[in-house]
Amino acid sequence: MRIRAGYEISFDCPQTTPMLLCISVHPSRAGDLLTPGPITVSPGAPLSTYRDAFDNVCTRILAPPGRTTLATDFECFDTGQPDEVAWDAVQHKVEDLPDDKLTFLLGSRYCETDRLSDAAWQMFGGTAPGWGRVQTICDFVHQHIKFNYQDARSTRTAWEAYEEGRGVCRDYAHLAVALCRCMNIPARYCTGYLGDIGMPPPYPPGDFSAWFEAYLGGRWYTFDARHNKPRIGRVLMARGRDATDVAISTVFGPSILSGFTVFTDEVT
């Protein structure tokens, strides 16, 4: 399967403004790119890239005063297979986890394990460790949060999503990640492209999506508490502890998001 994806994002800045962007395809999918899809900046502005601690490709730009538009358009190969399901994947004891997975058991900016731990153990302590426990967490989050774009809030944490029962895909991911960590399951936040390939219409406007990965049976598996079913055609951009690590844009000064278009389509 061939997927065409990309975006056009505009910012209005009253002054020269540094920005940090996480809007490139993750290196783990670089081998699937069929066209290069470089980031274009209009008007021209200096940019540079680096790899962060989670191996994400980060872009630095110095946006001039006025409107700056970033865009990309690329095609990539995808297997066309839905997310893998492995009911026999086991949960590791904490003492048996690799050192580099322990980070994903800890609380973070948007995933307050300390505030959710008691509730998590009350709700999921009786479930069998492993894949079924993570799926039970996804079932709960999927039912507990009501999705509405109008309820989006960049400061909402997992605890607040739990208390308010509303949000968007990042809130589903944050709450599920936090609950998994409370149950001693390493979990990390992911962001990327996820179109409506294989889904019936009508289709909502294009957007980036958030999901998460849980470490079971010696490897990472994809879970999606918002959709709560295997999906086709995910294209990962970045992963980290929570949305802080993978923010689409971190702007070091005043700005207004004045344009935002994302597309992810199967090439037929």
Q: How far apart are CA 13 and CA 132, in angstroms?
A: 47
Local confidence band at 45 (pLDDT 50, 70, 90 cut-offs): confident
Supply the pLDDT for residue 205: 83
One-character DSSP codes across 144-190: HSEE-GGG--TT--HHHHHHH-EE-HHHHHHHHHHHHHHTT--EEEE
Of the candidates 167, 128, 174, the one whose C-alpha atom is nearest the C-alpha of residue 145 is 167
256: part of which helix (H) or strand (E)? strand 256-267
pTM of the model: 0.96
Local confidence band at 201 (pLDDT 50, 70, 90 cut-offs): confident
Q: Which domains does the chain have, with CATH numbers?
A: 2-80+248-267 (2.60.40.2250), 94-234 (3.10.620.30)
Tens-digit pLDDT profile for residues 95-122: 999 999 999 999 999 999 999 999 999 9
Straight-line distance from the first to the last Cα atom of the chain, in angstroms, rounded to the nearest whole number: 9
Beta-carbon-side half-sphere exposure of residue 142 (alpha carbons within 13 Å): 14
Tens-digit pLDDT profile for residues 48-96: 999 999 999 999 999 999 999 999 999 999 999 999 999 999 999 999 9
Local confidence band at 203 (pLDDT 50, 70, 90 cut-offs): confident
User: Is the confidence at residue 245, as pLDDT, over 90?
Assistant: yes
C-alpha torsion angle, residues 12, 16, 21, 23 (rounded to 10): 50
Amino acid letter for position 263: F
User: Is the confidence at residue 230, as pLDDT, over 90?
Assistant: yes
Cis peptide before 202 (omega within 30 of 0): yes
Supply the pLDDT for residue 155: 95
